[in-house]
Amino acid sequence: MPKNLGNIKEEIISVTRVMLEDKGYDKLNIRDVAGSCNIGIGTFYNYFKSKHEILSEIIRSDWKEILDDIDKGTESQGDATDKLLFIYSEINKFMKKTHGSGFEEFSNDAGKFDFTMVAEMKKGLRNQLSSRVKKAILGKTPEGKADCYSDLITRLFISYASEGSEDVRELTVLFELILTK
């Protein structure tokens, strides 16, 4: 009778998340993940081809969660500035979590990665975020400027969050200029 492994893919992801927080990406070891899941290394490789692939899966999952939180959270926010500040707080939370998972080591180890694929993935993620920013400012910007302004704000948010900036309140002056018809 075959052994019931339950949802082994979710278990691998869960164990990997904990190990990333404890050890970081550089010290993450497939053998340790498999051992903690009580599976063989071959079983791990049935689900993920490499450390890169499992971290990519975790980042995609976290990103989807942040976008869902932004969608829900902006509905309850007041004006456009409040919505933008909320969006930034979610981006900042994502960046802290991602960088805390060894994202820099993951990025530095990108020699095994297809840079064109990474660039396209980043562009896609930025576009997803920009569409949320656009929704927050739509109707508050001069006609025809929402796309340009949402892209600008998104790039600023990513830059600030990448630097670890906790607060973007100084940008509220810029928001007021952008959001003035």
- What is the pLDDT at residue 1? 37
Half-sphere CA count of 177, side-chain side, radius 13 A: 6
Question: Please, what is the Cα angle at 28 between 121 and 4, to 5 degrees?
Answer: 90
> In whole angstroms, what is the distance from residue 46 CA to residue 9 CA?
9
Residues in the chain: 181
Q: What is the three-class DSSP state of 174?
A: helix
Are 39 and 62 members of one domain?
A: no
Are 29 and 114 members of one domain?
A: no
Alpha helices per DSSP H over 76-145 = 80-100, 103-108, 115-137
Are 87 and 116 members of one domain?
A: yes
Does residue 43 lie in a domain region? Answer: yes
For residue range 32-87, list pLDDT tens digits in order.
Answer: 999 999 999 999 999 999 888 888 888 888 889 999 999 999 988 788 888 999 99
Long-range contacts, 151-160 (Cβ 8 Å, 24+): 152/178, 153/84, 153/178, 154/126, 154/129, 154/130, 155/126, 157/87, 157/88, 157/91, 157/129, 157/133, 158/91, 158/126, 158/129, 160/88, 160/92
Are 154 and 171 members of one domain?
A: yes
For residue range 130-140, list pLDDT tens digits in order.
Answer: 999 999 988 88
Is the per-residue pLDDT at 101 higher than 70? no
Are 20 and 90 members of one domain?
A: no
Residues near 181 by Cβ (< 8 Å), separated by ≥ 6?
A: 140, 141, 142
Handedness of CA 128, 52, 39, 19 (dihedral sign): negative
- What is the pLDDT at residue 49? 92
Is the per-residue pLDDT at 11 higher than 50? yes
Position 8 confidence tier, pLDDT thresholds 50, 70, 90: very high
Are 27 and 100 members of one domain?
A: no
Query: Which pTM value belongs to this model?
Result: 0.76
* Domain that includes residue 109, residue range: 51-178
Are 79 and 161 members of one domain?
A: yes
- What is the pLDDT at residue 45? 95
Position 112 confidence tier, pLDDT thresholds 50, 70, 90: low
